[in-house]
Amino acid sequence: MQTHDVLIVGGGLVGASLAIALDRIGVDVGLVEATPSGALPKVFDQRNLSFAAATVNALTALGVMAKLRGATGPIRRIHVSRDGDFGRVQMDAADYGREAFGQVVVARDFGEALEQRLGELAHLRRYRPARFIGLGAIEEGYRQIRIADADGERPLRARLLVAADGTRSAVRESLHIDTDEHDYLQTLFVARVRAARQPDGNAWERFGEHGPTALLPRGDRHYGAIHGVARADADAVAALDESAWLQRLQRAIGWRAGRLLGSGERSAYPLVQVLARALSAERVVLLGNAAQTIHPVGAQGFNLGLRDALTLAELIEHGRDDAGAAALLGAYVARRQPDREQTIEFSSGLARLTGNPAPLLRPLRSLGLLAAAQTGSLQSLLVGGAMGFRGDVPQLCRSAS
């Protein structure tokens, strides 16, 4: 039976990042991936990932940012408003002594960079294509796991099993960990668009009744467009030709980037929040979307998941004798709980508040925007969250060295 210190199920953004973080400290890792060699998981598509400054620091230290082929788009200024409300929030990184709040990276570019780094690791064994099919007994400090690959079923064992297998986590379900779900009844469309004005570091986010619309500055002279629509309208929006799609997007975001001139292929994602009621079990821990899939408002999802992974790696580095010890997992849950709760409260609260069409809420929202724009301490809280410096931040997030 093949044995590992840590076995990660899921080779997406968070699972691959954790494998890289653990390799640098010499931990023996197994990675169970659904996609075969030479292919990338579906999550690595043309969507735009907004990396907070803390995330950029960590991925630079892990050698991933240097592997990106395409240029990243710095977010130097953030402009937030809501359709129908007065007031707005504008934040400039220069006011906080920073060059940028973060960087916009194309998911496919990031996937290819992660793949290159995974190929360089000395302490990693990859099982692909393979899938998790069940848990076994816990014996002598090891959790037994069953996976299936081209040769049939095979048993593995590990000190710690990490569930990084997404929103509908098979590992989480096998542990009978319940979830709390909230369907926002919205669908998010993502596309690359070209505008009359090239990106210059400005990121615009405008809220509406059916979700956010945003233009993010990419590094390829295009914008990453995000547009939320009511679920009932999703099929009709998907069927729009390019001209009608651009007109709809222009109405939602306004003329901040000038006329929108062209759009790439659109991808659509239903927005459903899924929160696990427990983050760990005996010799098992949940990370990333398996632990919490949140509304993308504020671009917090992957940044939160990466902080999950890096906190775990940091604790394993300081408790090397047993990566799955109960005390270590207890410390992990305690460290992650404040950041997790605050980020979920921020994203879900903002999504519900800005999406509520009740007329009585309009003046309250407007006053909130005005207060955020004029109160230095409140802006500092928003900036700290936007940059990923919230709670007990992992050491790798604090600097790029």
What is the per-residue pLDDT for 370? 39
What is the per-residue pLDDT for 343? 85
As a whole number of angstroms, the distance between CA 323 and CA 21 comes to: 14
In a domain, residue 353? The reply is yes
What is the per-residue pLDDT for 401? 59
In a domain, residue 191? The reply is no
User: Regarding beta strands 211-217 and 284-286, do their DSSP bridges make them parallel or antiparallel, or are they unpaired?
Assistant: unpaired
Q: Locate 24 and state its tokens.
A: 């640098």
Three-state secondary structure of 270-311: EEEEEEECCCEECCEEECHHHCEECCCCCCCHHHHHHHHHHH
Whole-Å CA distances, 241 to 47, 248, 310: 20, 11, 43
In a domain, residue 231? The reply is no
What is the per-residue pLDDT for 352? 58
In a domain, residue 356? The reply is yes
Mean pLDDT of 319-329: 91
What is the per-residue pLDDT for 68? 96
What is the per-residue pLDDT for 379? 47
In a domain, residue 36? The reply is yes
In a domain, residue 262? The reply is no
Of the listed ranges 92-106, 187-201, 293-307, 371-385, the least confidently predicted one is 371-385
Question: Which residues are within 8 A (CB) of 117 and not within 5 positions of it... i.e. 6 or more apart?
Answer: 16, 20, 62, 63, 64, 67
As a whole number of angstroms, the distance between CA 58 and CA 61 comes to: 5
> 375 pLDDT band (50/70/90 cuts)?
very low
> 98 pLDDT band (50/70/90 cuts)?
confident
What is the per-residue pLDDT for 3? 96
pTM to 2 decimals? 0.89
In a domain, residue 203? The reply is no
Q: Using one digit for the tens of pLDDT, what is the confidence trace for 268-290?
A: 989 899 999 999 999 999 999 99
Mean pLDDT (the chain, rounded): 87
* pLDDT above 90 coverage of the chain, percent: 65
Of the listed ranges 59-68, 84-93, 158-167, the least confidently predicted one is 84-93
Of the listed ranges 9-13, 202-206, 263-267, 343-347, the least confidently predicted one is 343-347
Torsion angle, CA of 98/100/102/104, rounded to 10 degrees? -170
In a domain, residue 285? The reply is yes
What is the per-residue pLDDT for 377? 43
> 347 pLDDT band (50/70/90 cuts)?
confident
Is residue 180 pLDDT above 80, yes or no?
yes
Mean pLDDT of 99-123: 94
Q: How many structural domains is the chain composed of? A: 1
As a whole number of angstroms, the distance between CA 377 and CA 389 comes to: 15
**Residues pairing with 127 in the sheet:** 32
Q: Can you give the residue range of the structural domain that contains 293? A: 2-180+272-398
257/355: higher pLDDT: 257
Q: What CATH number does the domain containing 74 carry?
A: 3.50.50.60
> 60 pLDDT band (50/70/90 cuts)?
very high
- One-character DSSP codes across 347-373: HHHHHHHHH---TTHHHHHHHHHHHHH
- The one-letter code for the residue type at 388 is G
